[in-house]
Amino acid sequence: MLWLEGTPLAMMVSHGQFGFPALEMIHVTATTFVFGMITIVDLRLVGLLSRDSGVGNLYRDVIPLTWVAFVVAAATGILLFISQARAYSVNFAFQMKIAVLLLIGLNMLLFRRFVYPGIAKWDHGAAIPLAARIAGALSLVGWITVVSCARWIAYLMV
């Protein structure tokens, strides 16, 4: 962790005039964007969004954009992390955030592997299978938790 903080890139973020605040601004905005986009798919999966539009089409509309925002959030997040690697790695809110992010990733992998391939049966109008509803609900709760933990990081910094 100490080595990470000493890398030239980390030094640029932590000692540059605007490095940290500028990256943080982009990080927060990208994360906010990810949450707003993924919520639309999650609510459709849970069944709280009109069934007029097929799940598959909505998924293909929303997910690519969400990935772009996620990559921006992750890249800026890594830079923010290395600037104060020691403090973040022992921060409980940060640890929780990363753990929940991993769980969200697992949830997404399981959804893609086991639920999404059978989408043709319930894409339009039909009742959404329980597995898809659970995946949507878990994702929604997960992302709310990630944003909550992220906000708490600053309050728990020592």
Binding site for another protein (CB under 8 A): 17-18, 21-22, 24-26, 28-29, 32-37, 39-40, 50, 52-54, 57-58, 60-62, 65, 144, 147-148, 151-152, 155
Task: Give the per-residue SS3 of the chain.
Answer: CHHHHHCHHHHHHHHCCCHHHHHHHHHHHHHHHHHHHHHHHHHHHHCCCCCCCCHHHHHHHHHHHHHHHHHHHHHHHHHHHHHCHHHHHCCHHHHHHHHHHHHHHHHHHHHHHHHHHHHHHCCCCCCCCHHHHHHHHHHHHHHHHHHHHHHHHHHCCC
Task: State the nearest-atom distance from the C-beta of 5 to another protein, in Å.
Answer: 21
Nearer to another protein, 109 or 154 (CB): 154
Give the up-direction half-sphere exposure of residue 155: CA atoms within 13 A in the CB hemisphere. Answer: 6
Task: State the nearest-atom distance from the C-beta of 59 to another protein, in Å.
Answer: 8
Nearer to another protein, 54 or 129 (CB): 54
Task: State the nearest-atom distance from the C-beta of 26 to another protein, in Å.
Answer: 7
Task: State the nearest-atom distance from the C-beta of 107 to another protein, in Å.
Answer: 19
Nearer to another protein, 56 or 129 (CB): 56
Nearer to another protein, 124 or 133 (CB): 124
Task: State the nearest-atom distance from the C-beta of 66 to another protein, in Å.
Answer: 9
Nearer to another protein, 6 or 64 (CB): 64
Spatial neighbors of 7 by CB under 8 A, at least 6 apart, are 82
